[in-house]
Amino acid sequence: MRRILTTGTLMAVACCPAFAQERTADDGWGLIVGAGALHSPTYEGDDDTRLSILPNIQVSYGDRFFASVQEGIGYRVIKDPGFEAGPIMRVKFSRDEDADQPFAISGDDSTDLIGLGDVDTSIELGGFLAYDIGPVTLSAEARQAVTGHEGFVADLGVKWSGRSFLFGPPVIWSVGPRAKLVDDSYNGAYFSVDAAQSLASGLPVFEAEGGLHSYGIGATAIVPFTDEWSAVIVAGYDRLEGDAADNPLVQLRGSEDQASIGVFLSYKFF
């Protein structure tokens, strides 16, 4: 299955759940459309980066249903003051060994993945919860992929949010640490090297196991210009850990340090 967007660039956006515009309690449908530039690793674990132009489309219904590439598709079954929870589906787009990136506007195609085979697009199903303690939000999300890597993924995060009026219009910001846990199937799909792949890629044989995948920090700032137009700035840094860091692909051709930054312009239709 060919990807619609690249794994490397989407990884940076998807790990910033505050990327979406500030939610309201309005009834009815909401639609936000925009685009922006993202500078991020070419693939998960790479030491080279690329600048890509990406679309941003967000659909919502009231304060319960939400759908976007960044946040997935979810529904807040529980929506109480200070607590929310519900099911979620996320898409992790494929990693192809040719490293083709149709949305990239700078950087060369990587040859690091040649011989490792493709990892198909993964549909991940699971649930989420978030608990507010004043300006701090504790969040957890667990998902099982039914296609692609077919592994288990858990995302944990702490986010401190607020508003700043230093520049006139209120800047809505959030920042905080995060961590990702995965199982053997996930790490095996992206970082294991079997005998055939070793011959084709030149990398040594390696069997990746699960555990702590990465930890880092993410930040988001939403800058409203009018009721309809706004800019979203996202930035993040993650450090790969365990077999996600110790595998030969990352050790010989990539980096344990993964950083990204992006700026998006959005228009709210309704």
Instruction: Give the model confidence (pLDDT) of 36-95 as tens digits.
Output: 999 999 999 999 999 999 999 999 999 999 999 889 999 999 999 999 999 999 999 999
Residue 43 domain flag: yes
Query: Are the beta carbons of 201 and 99 closer than 8 angstroms?
Result: no
Indicate whether 184 pLDDT > 80.
Answer: yes
Q: What is the mean pLDDT of residues 4-12?
A: 42
Q: Which domain holds residue 11?
A: 7-268
* Percent of the chain whose predicted confidence (pLDDT) is above 90: 81
Residue 2 domain flag: no
3-class SS of residue 255: coil
Burial 217-243 (b: 16+ CB within 10 A, else e): ebbbbbbbeeeeebbbbbbbbbebbbb
Task: From 244, 182, 155, select the one nearest 208 (Cα to Cα).
Answer: 244
Give the CATH number of the domain where residue 36 resides. 2.40.230
Say how many domains are in the chain. Answer: 1
Higher-scoring residue by pLDDT: 107, 120: 120
Residue 132 domain flag: yes
Residue 210 domain flag: yes
Residue 1 domain flag: no
Indicate whether 213 pLDDT > 90.
Answer: yes
12 pLDDT band, cuts 50/70/90, is very low
Residue 160 domain flag: yes
Q: What is the mean pLDDT of residues 107-122?
A: 91
Tokens of 178: 């995060």
User: What does the alpha-carbon distance between residue 144 and residue 177 come to, in Å, rounded to a whole number?
Assistant: 23
Residue 121 domain flag: yes
102 pLDDT band, cuts 50/70/90, is confident
pLDDT at residue 192, rounded to an integer = 98
Residue 203 domain flag: yes
User: What does the alpha-carbon distance between residue 123 and residue 146 come to, in Å, rounded to a whole number?
Assistant: 6
